[in-house]
Amino acid sequence: MFNDKETFKQVFREKLIGNLGKPLEEASNADIYNTLGNMIRENAGKHWVETNQRFKADKGKQVYYFSMEFLIGRLLGNNLLNMGVLEVVREGLADLGFCLKDIEEEEADAGLGNGGLGRLAACFLDSLASLQYAGHGTGIRYKYGLFEQKIVDGYQVELPDYWLQKENVWEVRREDKQVEVKFWGHVDSYEKDGRLVFEHKDYEAVRAVPYDIPVIGADRRHVNTLRNWSAESITQPGRMFGSRGGSDYHKFLEYKRSVESISEFLYPDDSQYEGKLLRLKQQYFLCSAGLQSIIRTFDKLGLPYDTLPDKVGLHINDTHPTLVIPELMRILMDLKGMSWDEAWDITTRMVSYTNHTILSEALEKWPVTMVKELLPRIQLIIEEINARFCRELMDRYPGNQERISQMAIIYGDQVRMAHLAIVGSYSVNGVAALHTEILQKREMKLFDEYYPHRFNNKTNGITHRRWLLHANPPLTNLINEAIGTRWITHPQEMIGLIKYCEDSSFQEKVSGIKRQNKLRLAEFISSKHGEKVDPDSIFDVHVKRLHGYKRQLLNILHIIHLYNQIKANPSMDMVPRTFIFGAKAAPSYHLAKRTIKLINTVADVVNKDPDVKGKVRIFFLENYSVSLAEKIIPAADVSEQISTASKEASGTGNMKFMMNGALTIGTMDGANVEMHEMIGDDNMFLFGLRAEQVLDYYQYGGYYARNIYNEDSRLKEVLDQLVTPGPICCHTQEFDQIFHSLLDNNDEYFVLKDFASYVETHVEIDRAYRNQKDWLKKSIINIGHSGKFSSDNTISRYASEIWNISPVKF
């Protein structure tokens, strides 16, 4: 490795020539990126091999985090950081005439996830490796990540994200580790040596090829693996067609196309479950390939199978990989010859499950007929799990048919995946205290009573390495100056910053850094939008997926109200605000897409209006992604976390903003509640209904949106503007649907109900910002407490309280 700049430069030059056959003088930024990336991966390779040898020698438990999504974003900067060579490389490249920031922009942003759930998985990988746990990711190598969003005439347009067009320097194709996954066909059963044997026949075989990505921990020496599976066709004649039969060329092409579609694209809708066959195929593909490879590794140890739970942990990220439960049962019984009871005992000591949402429309329920046709053996096993579970329930609640049907795994013609996940695992966790409480007391109450020790909370976290050290180097340096560097490995020690919260010189420095970050973002926005951005305005930021419950609509309605106030009184006294939005809507989510159009329409009207005199400006930044988040978050003054209370399981964006010194305007939802517990009313801006109230309205009724519309003249004015001809509604019925959802459909997400307190709270923010000293004090208190939300903290708890693993020390 290179520990000094000169060695780096020399090694790099040689590598460049070897790699590209080009001298430095002819190299493009892309050439530099490729060479550097390859060089870093090769360097990590040595530690990767050593880490795996250490695992072997240690003979300890390895945990596999199964997830349909790993939203890892770009890796170069973070890998350089974790390898401890960031500065050497930055300076070395500068000497050679290149700017590392520009080189980083050459990397495709791996968008293999929708939002919170996928990004959490990526933060967890970083913490697992950095804390030296044996914890790996198991995912899918989608050819297309989450769509690229363009805004055309104010509308969202989706383009394919062909991220692999650029060479992926981080992955290693491991053909030697491939396995076969079987679909369709039928199951024969017969008795052999006094046992019932099941044989899967006439199936269609798919080749699963892993691509391994090294996950480099913060001390560079510990390197875990993210193993992403790719679906490929089998070309051995006569083996691949399954029920299609025959072997002519057309059939082969048809087969090939159908196989390759399995790992072709990431489903872009994270809010509405749809029973799509291809999605079920993806899920089983992930589970079966991942498990076969894990079992193969275990077999090499030559240990008895009852030790499997001591050597392997399987964690499922939401219900998407729940099929690991029946698939493990299949492997243990059909391939390893175990009895049902032995296999079930092992399985339920291995699997743990995280629930990420209580939105009923996102809960997965697969049609029995679909599972039966696509995965005949798996469906038989699920039926048996269900039958045995229902018998247990009958013993426990004799005659209580209603309770049994509420808890059953198969109900009507559907398999309820959350029930299967709870029954088949030894731990079920929610992702923030409030969310876990709602699971235990409401949504999954019956299961919590039946399995009193199974439910637990693990509040989410974010990796401070990406979201502070990498995204905000000036703030990182300032913290180092103030409290030393121990916080980098012990993020909770950021609390030491609190003692500087009233220190004027420290405040000045925090303020200077924020301004510098705002200037950078202002420049970026100007370059995209061709408009000036005022760095002295409050940067008020709302970035996340677009969804009704996240209430971007509440935000934009408030902005329209502000606009109305300014129009009525152009000399109104307010601190100028720059409202920044970033959000992708699921392609089929019409109301969400209309909300994007509304934001862009209002932006157009307001930004152009000379009466506004720059008091309010609105920018919708297209294609919100991990790399864009890294640019936006360090520059935010205000963080919008305004979900309908009870709906946002945790939120993780809230934590990223807090860590970068933004103040939160938010509801008592998800992890905001815990944020409030730490910093209190003085340091965040809370408003709106509480979860309890929202849930009671849902349960007992009593909310009438139209009454609020009739009574609040500000709101009436705003809503009428959506549907009556004027600057926002240009003789179209574009926003009728939004209007109707609020009034005729009684405002499912309580936007109108929370409007008044939201408006008031924004007035408070305006007032608070004018007192810069006090604002900075609040900001420093936020930063100081944010270490609690480091995913290092979260992962330590998963490790000790769920997985029962310790760091694998050198």
Residue 658 CA to residue 671 CA, distance in Å, equals: 12
- In angstroms, rounded to a whole number, what is the distance separating the alpha carbons of residues 176 and 723? 62
**Window 360 to 379, contacts with ligand 26V (CB under 6 A):** 362
Q: Using CB under 6 A as the criterion, what x/- string covers residues 57-96 for binding ligand 26V? A: ----------------------------------------
- Choose among 470, 357, 484, 388: nearest CA to 122: 470
Instruction: Put residue 693 in one of left, alpha, beta given phi > 0 → left and psi -120 to 50 → alpha.
Output: alpha
Applying CB under 6 A, the span of 269-277, 299-307, 445-453, 463-471 interacting with ligand 26V comes to: 269-277
Positions in 669-688 near ligand 26V (CB under 6 A):
670
* Interface segment toward ligand 26V; rule CB under 6 A; list 101-109, 263-271, 568-576, 755-763: 263-271
The pair of structure tokens assigned to 156 is 């969202």
Please identify, among the stretches 40-48, 241-249, 447-455, 646-654, the one whose residues bind ligand 26V according to the rule CB under 6 A: 646-654
Closer to ligand 26V by CB, 276 or 706: give it: 276
**Cβ-based nearer residue to ligand 26V, 119 or 207:** 119
Q: Which two tokens stand for residue 392?
A: 């247990």
Reduced to 3 states (helix: H, G, I; strand: E, B; else coil), residue 139 is: strand
**Measured from the CB atom, is 386 or 459 closer to ligand 26V?**
459
Report which of 776, 129, 796 is spatially closest to residue 492, judged by C-alpha positions. Answer: 796
Q: How far is the CB of 658 from ligand 26V (least distance, A)?
A: 14
Least gap, CB of 682 to ligand 26V (angstroms)? 25
Instruction: From 2-10, 98-106, 355-363, 736-744, give the range in contact with ligand 26V by CB under 6 A.
Output: 355-363
Within positions 377 to 416, which residues make up the interface with ligand 26V, using CB under 6 A? none
Our CB check for ligand 26V shows the closer of 24 and 362 to be 362
What is the smallest separation between the CB atom of 686 and ligand 26V, expressed in angstroms?
18
Residue written as token pair 């988040």: 629
- For residue 82, give the nearest of 224, 214, 220, 222 by alpha carbon: 220
- Give residue 454's identity as a one-letter amino acid code: R
Q: Are 561 and 601 in contact (CB under 8 A)?
A: no
Q: Could you tell me the maximum CA-CA distance found in the chain, to the nearest angstrom?
A: 91
- For residue 647, the minimal CB distance to ligand 26V (Å) is 8
SS3 (DSSP) at 570:
coil
> Which CB, 3 or 360, lies closer to ligand 26V?
360
Question: From the CB of 462, what's the least distance to ligand 26V, in Å?
Answer: 10
The Cα 225–Cα 49 span in angstroms is: 11
Q: Which stretch binds ligand 26V (CB under 6 A): 20-28, 256-264, 485-493, 649-657?
A: 649-657
**Residue 270, interface with ligand 26V (CB under 6 A)?**
yes
Min CB(548)–ligand 26V separation in Å: 13
Taking the least distance from each CB to ligand 26V, the nearer of 309 and 430 is 430
Q: 67 or 601: whose CB is closer to ligand 26V?
A: 67
Given candidates 126, 630, 648, 792, which one binds ligand 26V under the rule CB under 6 A?
Answer: 648
The radius of gyration of the chain from alpha carbons, rounded to an integer in Å, stands at 27
Evaluate whether 696 touches 712 at the Cβ level (below 8 Å).
no
CB 306 within 8 A of CB 343: no
| Site stretch for ligand 26V (CB under 6 A), options 211-219, 265-273, 572-580, 738-746 | 265-273
| Least distance in angstroms from the C-beta of 626 to ligand 26V | 14
Q: Closer to ligand 26V at the Cβ: 114 or 347?
A: 114
Residue 648 near residue 670 (C-beta atoms within 8 A):
yes
Please report, for the chain, how many H helices and E strands are present, in that order.
33, 25
> Where in the sequence numbering do the catalytic residues fall?
356, 544-545, 550, 652, 656
Q: Which residue is nearest to ligand 26V (CB)?
A: 116
User: For ligand 26V, which stretch binds (CB under 6 A), given 329-337, 396-404, 513-521, 643-651?
Assistant: 643-651
Query: Which one among 136, 315, 330, 356 touches ligand 26V, defined by CB under 6 A?
Result: 356
CA distance 116 to 545: 9
Residue placing its CB nearer to ligand 26V in the complex, 120 or 795: 120
Nearer to ligand 26V, 458 or 577 (CB): 458
In the bound complex, what is the minimum distance in angstroms from residue 587's beta carbon to ligand 26V? Answer: 12
Nearer to ligand 26V, 535 or 651 (CB): 651
Contacts of 694 (CB under 8 A, 6+ apart): 644, 645, 646, 647, 750
In the complex, minimum distance from the CB of residue 506 to ligand 26V, in angstroms, rounded to a whole number:
31
Q: Tokens 């490790």 belong to which residue? A: 799
112, 206, 488, 649: which one binds ligand 26V (CB under 6 A): 649
322 within 8 A of 316, measured Cβ to Cβ: yes
Tokens representing 41?
Answer: 């991966």
Q: Taking Cα atoms as reference points, which of 285, 369, 351, 282 lies closest to residue 315? A: 351
Q: Which of residues 418-477 bind ligand 26V (CB under 6 A)?
A: 431, 460
Q: Classify residue 80 as exposed, middle or buried by CB count within 10 Å of its CB (0-12, 13-18, 19+).
A: buried
The CB-of-489 to ligand 26V minimum distance in angstroms stands at 24
- Of the pair 293, 667, the CB lying nearest ligand 26V is at 667
Residues 104-163 interacting with ligand 26V (rule: CB under 6 A): 114-117, 120
Task: Please report how close the Cβ of residue 431 comes to ligand 26V at its closest, in angstroms.
Answer: 4
Q: Looking at residues 652 to 671 of the shown chain, list those that interact with ligand 26V (rule: CB under 6 A).
A: 652, 670
Count of chain residues binding ligand 26V (CB under 6 A): 21
Pick the piece of the chain touching ligand 26V (CB under 6 A) from 12-20, 100-108, 373-381, 648-656.
Answer: 648-656
Q: Which stretch binds ligand 26V (CB under 6 A): 240-248, 267-275, 380-388, 465-473?
A: 267-275
In the numeric block, the tokens 């970033």 are attached to 582
Bridge partners, 539 (sequence order): 578
Phi, psi of 183 (to 5 degrees): -120, 165
Q: Is 528 exposed, middle or buried (0-12, 13-18, 19+ CB in 10 A)?
A: exposed
Identify whether the C-beta of residue 143 lies closer than 8 Å to the C-beta of residue 264.
Answer: yes
DSSP of 681-732 = GGGSEE-S--HHHHHHHHHH----HHHHHHH-HHHHHHHHHHHSSSSSS-SS
Of 357 and 507, the one with the shorter C-beta distance to ligand 26V is 357
Residue selected from 168, 457, 552, 650 as contacting ligand 26V according to rule CB under 6 A: 650
Q: Are 688 and 754 in contact (CB under 8 A)?
A: yes
Task: Supply the minimum distance, in Å, between the C-beta of residue 563 and ligand 26V.
Answer: 30
- Which residues have a Cβ under 8 Å from the Cβ of 672 and sit 6 or more positions away? 641, 648, 651, 654, 664, 666, 684, 686
Which ranges of 21-74 would DSSP assign to H, the alpha helix?
29-58
Site residues for ligand 26V, 286-325, by CB under 6 A, read 318
Q: Least distance in Å: CB of 318 to ligand 26V? A: 6
As a dihedral over the C-alpha atoms of residue 416, residue 417, residue 419, residue 424, rounded to 10 degrees, the angle is: 140
Total residue count of the chain as it appears in this document: 810
Contact set with ligand 26V (CB under 6 A): 114-117, 120, 267, 269-270, 273, 318, 356-357, 362, 431, 460, 648-652, 670
